[in-house]
Amino acid sequence: MAIVNVTPDSFYDGGRLLRDDARAPDLPVVRSRCRALAREGAAILDVGGESTRPGARAVSPAEERARVVPVIRAPARDEALAGALISVDTRRAEVARAAVAAGAAIINDVSGLADPEMARVAAETGAGLVLGHMRGVPETMQTSIGFTDLLREVAEELRASVARARAAGVAPEQLVIDPGVGFGKTAEQSAALVVASRTLRELVGYPVLIGASRKSFLGAITRRAVDDRMSASVAAAVLAVRHGASVVRVHDVVETVDALRVAAALERAYDERVASASRAGGAPR
């Protein structure tokens, strides 16, 4: 899942896809960026119109809709995208509804249904629904971090979001869960969640998405600024998939895709060697 933020203030890519006056998306620039991401191997383009960085200012739903809808309408009809799906990164049902009408196939809700109407939009439209884990709102989420048993509590709260989605009529096949790396978590908690997907999948019962790309917990480990966290992000994505994540949300698509391909090829080569050695009755060489 490639990140396509049309915001002035996202922590890494804020402002890059906006016109010079920063008031609206620069549609030709967005289109060529989306085509490049699809060519590089992104299966999903995640379009966001509101920054959810810690302390970010909330935007009005009208402003958010005005940022994402034209951006989604163009790629949804673009054959050069080679079948990549569009998702909309929003916490608001009315933005999600407009985005799905414009061609988005997935709703990515980092709040895990804070807007009570969101589940109904997914149920009525049949769109995929990513349920994120976050306590509170981005403005304040880092101010009261408190878990006594991180994995159990995140799993329980995700299970509650899933139950609300199911009660509103969302089918199990529509759902993906996300432990919300960096959303109201310490650096150490975020690090643990990146490699917890298999456990979460077992505890909650749904495929897991991990968004670790360039986040501050990687800065805490490497002591690097956001612009210099690409290798750290690629390492996190490979580990996330190795530990059971089904989707990784990233800024650096070509680097991540290469790394994931290499990791998969190495493991496949090893597995085949073990299989042929055991067929031959010997130890792997």
Which amino acid, 109?
Answer: D
Helix (H, G, I), strand (E, B) or coil at 210: strand
Site residues for ligand PMM, window 6-25 (CB under 6 A)? 10-12
Which residue has its beta carbon closest to ligand PMM?
Answer: 211
138 binds ligand PMM per the rule CB under 6 A: no
Instruction: Choose between 1 and 66: whose C-beta lies nearer to ligand PMM.
Output: 1
Task: Assess whether 215 carries a catalytic annotation.
Answer: yes
67 binds ligand PMM per the rule CB under 6 A: no
| CB contact set of 73 (below 8 Å; sequence gap of 6+) | 102, 103
Catalytic residue among 92, 97, 215, 229: 215
CB of 52 to ligand PMM, least distance (A): 5
Within 13 A of 119's CA, how many CA atoms are on the CB side? 20
Task: Assess whether 185 carries a catalytic annotation.
Answer: no
Q: Token digits for 278?
A: 């055991």
DSSP 8-state class, residue 149: S
DSSP 8-state class, residue 211: -
CA distance 232 to 202: 27
**Residue closest to 93 by CA, chosen among 51, 72, 64, 133:** 64
Q: Token digits for 4?
A: 């396509």
CA distance 179 to 143: 18
Q: Token digits for 126?
A: 């049949």
Applying CB under 6 A, which of residues 25, 26, 38, 48 lies at the interface with ligand PMM? Answer: 48
Instruction: Choose between 26 and 109: whose C-beta lies nearer to ligand PMM.
Output: 109
For the chain, where are the alpha helices, taking DSSP H only? 27-40, 61-76, 93-102, 118-125, 150-167, 187-194, 197-204, 216-222, 230-242, 253-279
Site residues for ligand PMM, window 200-229 (CB under 6 A)? 209, 211, 213
Helix (H, G, I), strand (E, B) or coil at 74: helix
Binding mask 170-199 for ligand PMM (x = CB under 6 A): --------x--x------------------
CA distance 87 to 229: 24
Binding mask 69-98 for ligand PMM (x = CB under 6 A): --------------------x---------
CB of 214 to ligand PMM, least distance (A): 7
CB of 136 to ligand PMM, least distance (A): 15
132 binds ligand PMM per the rule CB under 6 A: yes
Instruction: Choose between 181 and 245: whose C-beta lies nearer to ligand PMM.
Output: 181
Instruction: Choose between 225 and 283: whose C-beta lies nearer to ligand PMM.
Output: 225
Residues with catalytic roles: 215, 249
Q: Provide the binding-site residues for ligand PMM, judged by CB under 6 A.
A: 3, 5, 10-12, 48, 52, 89, 108, 110, 130, 132, 178, 181, 209, 211, 213, 249
